[in-house]
Amino acid sequence: MTAESKRSRYSAEYDVPVRGDQITADRYITREWMALENQHLWPKVWHLGGVLAELEEEGDVIRHNFGKESVIMVRQAPDETGHAAVKAFYNTCPHRGNRLILGDVGGAPRITCSYHGWQFDPDGTLVHVQDPEDFSGGNPCGKVKLAELRCDTWGPFVFWCMDDDVKPLHEWLAPFPERLAGYGVENWVRVLNLSADCEFNWKIIRDNFNESYHLPTVHPEVATFINDGLPSTLFEMYPSGHNSMWMVGHQATTRNDYVSGDVPPGLYEAAEAWGIDPKQYRGRTNEIREAVIKAKRERGPALGYTNYKDMSDQQLVDYFHCTLFPNLTLTMSPEQLQILRTEPHPTDPEKCVFQHWCLYPPVAGMKEVVTPIGNVPLTHDAVARHSTYGDGVSVGFVADQDLSIGTSQQQGLNSRGFKGCLLPDQEKRVQRFHELLNDMVRGKP
Ligand code: FES
Ligand SMILES: [Fe+2]
């Protein structure tokens, strides 16, 4: 190996310089930082609120609790063209502030407050109050509305945003709607809906998803079928603030010699799954990736993978990790979309909520899918659960490993001896994340 091949690789087209701001511990620990994020960061970004599959009928509602905030998304009546929009409202009653919706999903012709029984149409209009004649300004029905916020959809997802000046959703998501178009995720099914309360700041896992430096140490098992070698992995950083990482799949890491011997476990099963005899690839295991591309093109459509035809070769076999600023990760492969994110705790900067959703394409005849927690029926929210990390309930095999470092990192960051991060080049996305955060939270220098 040459010295050059041990350096990280950034896209020539999508790279940005960083300033080198020091990343100190206060941002992970203090209430001051948390308050600044609540004021300057979270209102200024789009938030993934839920999946459209839960909003089929007029009046269907999903709730998204975020920190101290709570937002509801409500399916509207269809217009003349048959299109039914979704609106988002703050989950608070305009009478005296009671939270309106107390469950994660629901549906009724009217939203009814459980305190004094005020009722609202799905479009947020107040339509019923007790004692309407007793208001000196006249009956408020038809005049008062729920506080609305921006709402839009992309693929199978609903998003909301608290600020009117943030770019429209599809621009804000750039370049991903275009980059991900070939996967055809619109009708994919959310099979896993897992979440957990965690004992660390939300940015700890954001940093982790902004680097692949931890793969050999935290996820050693994936080394035989995901090539995390530095010259092979491609990092991109976009003007939008989002970034991505292309990891070569169906190929072992180039950090060790997995090529000259037998096909290693993991890669072995991946080849067999596509009718490839791994024994034929002894001494040239790195050629399996090409063979899988060929097999997927030939056999995929007959197996029901109708989306393969719109994908590039790279999309067919590699892993595309899309990390959106500030807190959303989409990990794409042709047969699985993982949503991974952390959200702040309502009051404690040293806690967060971790969420892991897995979506799968609806393949004709397929009853079950292999998920990060085992085989699960291919149905909406086949497993939906909330746990406390550390109680032994899995949030997914690889995600469990990621979370396993969170608590001890939070503890270490509290030490007087920690003076700020020291990053290799391959962690430039971590550096950029914190510089974007600094610009938003403290203002541009
Ligand atoms: S607070 Fe909602 S009806 Fe009174
Ligand atoms: Fe990881």
Contact predicate 343/66, CB 8 Å: yes
Do residues 158 and 193 share a domain?
no
The tokens describing 375, both together, are: 């085989």
State the ligand closest to the CA atom of 112: 1
Q: What is the pLDDT of residue 2?
A: 44
- Distance CA(344)–CA(326), nearest Å, equals 12
3 state SS of 126:
strand
Which CATH number goes with the domain that contains 291?
3.90.380.10
Do residues 236 and 152 share a domain?
no
Q: What pTM does this model have?
A: 0.96
Do residues 294 and 363 share a domain?
yes
Ligand 1 binding residues, C-beta < 6 A: 93, 95-96, 98, 113, 115-116, 118
Give distance in angstroms: CA of 98 to centre of ligand 1: 6
The domain of 286 spans 4-41+179-442
- Distance CA(62)–CA(106), nearest Å, equals 6
* Beta pairing partners, 71: 64, 90
Give distance in angstroms: CA of 97 to centre of ligand 1: 7
Tally the domains of the chain.
2
Does residue 280 lie in a domain region? yes
Tens-digit pLDDT profile for residues 22-67: 999 999 999 999 999 999 999 999 999 999 999 999 999 999 999 9
DSSP state of 41: I
Give distance in angstroms: CA of 99 to centre of ligand 1: 9
Do residues 412 and 363 share a domain?
yes
Do residues 129 and 254 share a domain?
no
The tokens describing 79, both together, are: 């217009």
Does residue 183 lie in a domain region? yes
DSSP-derived secondary structure for 212-269: -TTHHHH-GGGGGTEE--TTT-EEEE-TTS-EEEEEEESS--TTS--SSSSPPTTHHH
Give distance in angstroms: CA of 255 to centre of ligand 2: 17
Does residue 289 lie in a domain region? yes
Which CATH number goes with the domain that contains 116?
2.102.10.10
For atom 4 of ligand 1, the residue with the nearest CA is 116
Tens-digit pLDDT profile for residues 256-290: 999 999 999 999 999 999 999 999 999 999 999 99
Give distance in angstroms: CA of 429 to centre of ligand 1: 46
Residue 336 phi/psi, 5-degree rounding, is -160, 135
* Beta pairing partners, 126: 120
Which of these, 79, 83, 115, lies nearest to 98 by C-alpha position?
115
Does residue 36 lie in a domain region? yes
Does residue 174 lie in a domain region? no
Do residues 118 and 20 share a domain?
no
**If you search the block for the tokens 């991974």, which residue do you land on?**
340
Q: What is the pLDDT of residue 445?
A: 67
- Mutating to test ligand 1, I would choose from 89, 99, 101, 113 the residue with most ligand atoms within 8 A of its C-beta, which is 113
- Distance CA(17)–CA(345), nearest Å, equals 32
Does residue 21 lie in a domain region? yes
Do residues 109 and 192 share a domain?
no
Do residues 278 and 427 share a domain?
yes
State the ligand closest to the CA atom of 92: 1
Contact predicate 102/114, CB 8 Å: yes
In order along its 445 residues, the chain shows pLDDT tens digits of 444 468 888 998 999 999 999 999 999 999 999 999 999 999 999 999 999 999 999 999 999 999 999 999 999 999 889 888 999 999 999 999 999 999 999 999 999 999 999 999 999 999 999 999 999 999 999 999 999 999 999 999 999 999 999 999 999 999 999 999 999 999 999 999 999 999 999 999 999 999 999 999 999 999 999 999 988 899 999 999 999 999 999 999 999 999 999 999 999 999 999 999 999 999 999 999 999 999 999 999 999 999 999 999 999 999 999 999 999 999 999 999 999 999 999 999 999 999 999 999 999 999 999 999 999 999 999 999 999 999 999 999 999 999 999 999 999 999 999 999 999 999 999 999 999 999 999 987 6
Do residues 9 and 88 share a domain?
no
Does residue 64 lie in a domain region? yes
User: Last residue of a domain, which of 165, 200, 217?
Assistant: 165
Does residue 172 lie in a domain region? no
Do residues 301 and 341 share a domain?
yes
State the ligand closest to the CA atom of 130: 1
Do residues 198 and 113 share a domain?
no
Which of these, 304, 303, 302, 270, lies nearest to 288 by C-alpha position?
270
Do residues 285 and 200 share a domain?
yes
- Distance CA(410)–CA(200), nearest Å, equals 5
Q: Which atom of ligand 1 is nearest to the CA of 118?
A: 3
User: Last residue of a domain, which of 98, 132, 165?
Assistant: 165
Q: What is the pLDDT of residue 136?
A: 96
User: Last residue of a domain, which of 143, 165, 187?
Assistant: 165
